[in-house]
Amino acid sequence: MIKKILPIFFAAALFVGVPTTMYANQAIEIIENDFDEVSISVSGSVLHVTGANGQNLQVYNVAGVCVMNIKVDGQDKRFDMNLPKGCYIIKIGRTVRKISIR
């Protein structure tokens, strides 16, 4: 008899519940919004980069070897990629893109 009453008692206690009070903490983390976002596009073998003034442009092949490292000295720049056809990874600051040179 007790084995049947005990689960019913515990289930009833769960439905009744105990009131709890919760408080929200103040936000202490500040998230940087990068409104000057870098734009990377490629047409043929010409790489077009905007919004990367003063940053380093790094080009990696699919093996992870850095094949080109250039300092971007303007807001709107075009670079002629004298690289063999294939897939490459472009890294400018925290922005990383995959491109294909045909």
Domain ranges for the chain: 36-102
Half-sphere CA count of 95, side-chain side, radius 13 A:
17
Beta strand pairing call for 46-50 and 76-80: antiparallel
Q: How far apart are CA 39 and CA 26, in angstroms?
A: 35
pLDDT for position 22? 67
pLDDT for position 37? 84
Domain 36-102 carries which CATH code?
2.60.40.3080
Flag whether the pTM goes above 0.85.
Answer: no
Tell me which residue has tokens 């699919």: 62
pLDDT for position 99? 94
> Is residue 70 a contact partner of residue 57, using CB atoms and an 8 Å limit?
yes
Q: For the chain, list residues with pLDDT below 50.
A: none
Give kind and range of the element (H or E) at residue 7.
helix 2-16
